[in-house]
Structure 1
């Protein structure tokens, strides 16, 4: 894990050290936005009227978790805060330490959950929990002796659903270590890690959001496949997430989902220890009527020593959720939307062919026309603007 500190330091103060050589309209393998097109796909448009503010935390939270504190279990503090009710934001402070547990947030109370250490790695929330975990093993791990999730608790139904999956294994969604199902939640200054490391292509979510107006700041998110899962992508459902000053690490589709995410000053790091032959960073599954999927700005896209200068990492592929091979229908099927701008892209990416085939086996098709419709679902909706670096 020694890679984390220097990469995260870069993300805190991203400086694009060389000018962009990306020119409109780009190519069909790598479309580049014009200035006017970039204005229509601005950060404020992705926020859709929301103005997230910087996270400010008190020296002592309303609920304190740690050895010798009122709460020794994060879920217990979350439950207490939600059961207390009200519309005033409540602060859950986590003292330094390692917390081998899941955290499910489900309710209507605005919460800020923050680590009180000097760096995100001082507070570690982690488990080994792959999608292929049996439901019985999940129960024993997540709810030992039935003490963490009880009937009547805010997130009991979520736990119960995961524990009773008909397949006998928990699946991708229930592999999540930290799962946000409440609007207006802030997460600050901690690390969430799914330690599942099978050599197979097993899904293992570190953090999942199924809510609106979520802010994640100064956080490490670590896994391999499916590290960060944003939203469901249902038509008409707005689920906005703002991620800043954060490190996200993985190898396969490690930022994915159907929600809207804005990433500012984020370090995305592809790791090669499981699959040195290649990696995929983004896998959006945006609803075809939603113009705003993932927006990346002022960030760094890089890899570990096994990938640096390798050109083996793909920036993105479309996650055509629910679409079988050859079954994509333009305007009906999901069509991931992604914009990367003013970001340093290292030589881990093949600059001539940065995108790859969708999960439905739909070949990548970029639109390099000069009178193009940025939301033409006959094409992929992956765009870049003003990026720099050997992979740009």
Structure 2
């Protein structure tokens, strides 16, 4: 199936519409945001990192600005070079602009090897010195992550941004994790020593609930989960803008809950490792107007891709443990609506938050490489064969509601219980009555 927008429908996905709304799903604030292109030549750094500057790392410069209790906007310039270490930019009384001072993004690289399966003691051993003299709002975040085992995808990033109004310009963020952490079992590896299966999430940039994040002329590189666009809490959205960026990975490498605009970006699929590759994995709430919107982008690959292996994306069925979709092959299988999602075979529950995680993605006026099967560019979640986490690709509201009609009736639920105040409900119910 290859759904396409009409011209009128596509017109609704203009940048200023997409970036206009923020807040609680279904009750977003109308808060127009029209990011102005960043001019590197016009930015004068308040702090300089690297040779000729006063700081050896970006984190040191961030810490100094926090200690000085700055206000307004703080510009941190980074001289040419490779900088290993983590960077955490917390909420503050100022917004941060982080700019590479080289001629191109490749001249300034923020790099580190960190992955979701890392245990707390290893995280402490490797990164305690990075945060030894950090102000409390950074140190508190470090201590929280250090107490986890494993640290999880939400804490496995090179650059973590919680700072509203954050700007990133003219540099590279690379997670150098090589998908080579053994997780037990007999798992195949490729010529680079990478495991083809297993959990290998390793984030380059995590936008952790920050709003109005502007990223321009930046390279983001990893394999699985390169760019994580995380909402502040489930059922809320914030906004990010990516212009003239290069983003690469192999599995779900642009993913998350929030709203994001991508313009003139190169989206590169790497295909030497995974049996299947997905460029996107949004988990947008059903009631949030916009998820990920790509305009005038180039979906390409590394030259090793094969059609049938690569997809534009799949919709992250976030938190699912037991699915109401499809015909179960487990005797006595039953799933009920409940406060949390869990599965104790053969009975499970699914929360409304999980049901609402439908994932929204629109691609406009973009080039799509021959690695994508144009007749089936979107994939099901957790495979096409039924399993307890299965969900087919959903292109429109009726694709979700129609298969759930009988199940909802058995639950004593209505469509309004799942998605209250959605404008399409009356139209859908009239059409199916």
Both structures adopt the same fold (TM-score exceeding 0.5)? yes
Which residue matches 2:9? 37
**Aligned ranges for residues 165-314 of structure 1 at < 5 Å?**
165=148, 168-198=149-179, 199=195, 200-201=197-198, 202-210=200-208, 211-232=210-231, 234=233, 237-275=236-274, 277-307=275-305, 310-314=307-311
**Contact 1:178–1:208 at 8 Å: present in 2 too?**
yes
2:99 to 92, 111, 114: 114
Moved more, 186-195 or 235-244: 235-244
**Aligned ranges for residues 137-176 of structure 1 at < 5 Å?**
137-144=122-129, 147-150=130-133, 152-165=135-148, 168-176=149-157
Q: Could you tell me how far 1:316 is from its partner in structure 2? A: 0.8
Q: Could you tell me how far 1:59 is from its partner in structure 2? A: 6.1
Q: Could you tell me how far 1:149 is from its partner in structure 2? A: 4.3
**Contact 2:231–2:237 at 8 Å: present in 1 too?**
no
| Alpha-carbon distance between aligned partners in 1 of 2:232 and 2:283, rounded to the nearest angstrom | 7
Secondary structure at the aligned position of 2:375 is classed as coil
| Alpha-carbon distance between aligned partners in 2 of 1:131 and 1:85, rounded to the nearest angstrom | 32
Q: Could you tell me how far 1:361 is from its partner in structure 2? A: 1.5
Which residue matches 1:26? none
Q: Could you tell me how far 1:77 is from its partner in structure 2? A: 0.2
Q: Structure 1 residues 265, 149: closer, same or farther in 2, change over 3 A?
A: farther
Instruction: Give the TM-score of the pair, scaled to structure 2.
Output: 0.74
Which residue matches 2:118? 133
- Output one character per residue of 1:10-63: Cα deviation in whole Å (capped at 9) or x when no partner: xxxxxxxxxxxxxxxxxxx22111112112233221111111111134464100
Moved more, 168-177 or 295-304: 168-177
| Alpha-carbon distance between aligned partners in 2 of 1:151 and 1:292, rounded to the nearest angstrom | 37
Secondary structure at the aligned position of 1:243 is classed as strand
User: Bigger relative contact order, structure 1 or 2, given CA contacts below 8 A and separation 6+?
Assistant: 1
**Aligned ranges for residues 51-90 of structure 1 at < 5 Å?**
51-57=34-40, 58=42, 60-90=44-74
Instruction: Give the TM-score of the pair, scaled to structure 1.
Output: 0.82
Q: Could you tell me how far 1:354 is from its partner in structure 2? A: 0.8
Q: Could you tell me how far 1:262 is from its partner in structure 2? A: 0.2
Q: Could you tell me how far 1:345 is from its partner in structure 2? A: 0.3
Q: Structure 1 residues 319, 149: closer, same or farther in 2, change over 3 A?
A: farther
Q: Structure 1 residues 162, 70: closer, same or farther in 2, change over 3 A?
A: same
Aligned length: 340
Which residue matches 2:426? none
Structure 1 gaps, min length 5? 1-28, 368-372, 380-392
**Contact 2:101–2:170 at 8 Å: present in 1 too?**
yes
Secondary structure at the aligned position of 1:178 is classed as strand
Structure whose residues are more often helix by fraction: 2
Q: Structure 1 residues 87, 320: closer, same or farther in 2, change over 3 A?
A: same
**Contact 2:59–2:88 at 8 Å: present in 1 too?**
yes
Are 1:321 and 2:304 counterparts? no
Q: CA RMSD in A?
A: 2.1
| Alpha-carbon distance between aligned partners in 2 of 1:241 and 1:333, rounded to the nearest angstrom | 21
Q: Could you tell me how far 1:294 is from its partner in structure 2? A: 0.2
**Contact 2:177–2:202 at 8 Å: present in 1 too?**
yes
Secondary structure at the aligned position of 1:154 is classed as helix
Which residue matches 2:332? none
Structure with bigger gyration radius: 2
Structure 2 gaps, min length 5? 21-31, 180-194, 325-349, 383-388, 404-433
**Contact 2:238–2:258 at 8 Å: present in 1 too?**
yes
**Contact 2:394–2:400 at 8 Å: present in 1 too?**
no
**Contact 1:325–1:362 at 8 Å: present in 2 too?**
no
